[in-house]
Amino acid sequence: EDQVTQSPEALRLQEGESSSLNCSYTVSGLRGLFWYRQDPGKGPEFLFTLYSAGEEKEKERLKATLTKKESFLHITAPKPEDSATYLCAVQAKSGGSNYKLTFGKGTLLTVNP
Amino acid sequence: DTGVSQNPRHKITKRGQNVTFRCDPISEHNRLYWYRQTLGQGPEFLTYFQNEAQLEKSRLLSDRFSAERPKGSFSTLEIQRTEQGDSAMYLCASSPWDRQEQYFGPGTRLTVT
A22 in a structural domain? yes
Categorize the per-residue pLDDT at A95 as very low, low, confident or very high, splitting at 50, 70 and 90. low
CB-based burial label for B14 (10 Å; 0-12, 13-18, 19+): exposed
Categorize the per-residue pLDDT at B1 as very low, low, confident or very high, splitting at 50, 70 and 90. low
CB-nearest partner of B100 from A31, A102, A104: A31
Cβ separation of B48 and A34 shorter than 8 Å? no
Cβ separation of A100 and B41 shorter than 8 Å? no
Cβ separation of A41 and B91 shorter than 8 Å? no
A55 in a structural domain? yes
How far A43 CA sits from the closest chain B CA (Å)? 4
A103 in a structural domain? no
DSSP code at position B40: T
Q: Phi then psi for B106, rounded to 5 degrees?
A: -75, -15
Cβ separation of B42 and A89 shorter than 8 Å? yes
Q: Which domain holds residue A49?
A: 3-95
Q: Measured between alpha carbons, how far is A79 from B51 in angstroms, rounded to an integer?
A: 41
Q: Between A95 and A47, whose confidence is greater?
A: A47
DSSP code at position B81: S
Cβ separation of A49 and B106 shorter than 8 Å? no
Q: How many CB atoms lie within 10 A of CB B108?
A: 22
Residue B71 has pLDDT above 90, yes or no: no
A113 in a structural domain? no
Q: CATH number of the domain that A39 lies in?
A: 2.60.40.10
B35 touches B45 (CB < 8 A) = yes
pLDDT in tens, A3-62: 999 999 999 999 999 999 999 999 988 999 999 999 999 999 999 999 999 999 999 999
A102 in a structural domain? no
Categorize the per-residue pLDDT at A99 as very low, low, confident or very high, splitting at 50, 70 and 90. confident
Q: Phi then psi for B84, rounded to 5 degrees?
A: -60, -30
Number of structural domains found in chain A:
1
Name the strands in the sheet holding B65-68, side by side, starting at the edge strand that comes first in the sequence. B5-7, B19-24, B75-79, B65-68
A13 in a structural domain? yes
CB-nearest partner of B55 from A31, A41, A97: A97
A108 in a structural domain? no
Categorize the per-residue pLDDT at B60 as very low, low, confident or very high, splitting at 50, 70 and 90. confident
Given CB atoms, is B31 within the 8 Å cutoff of chain A? yes
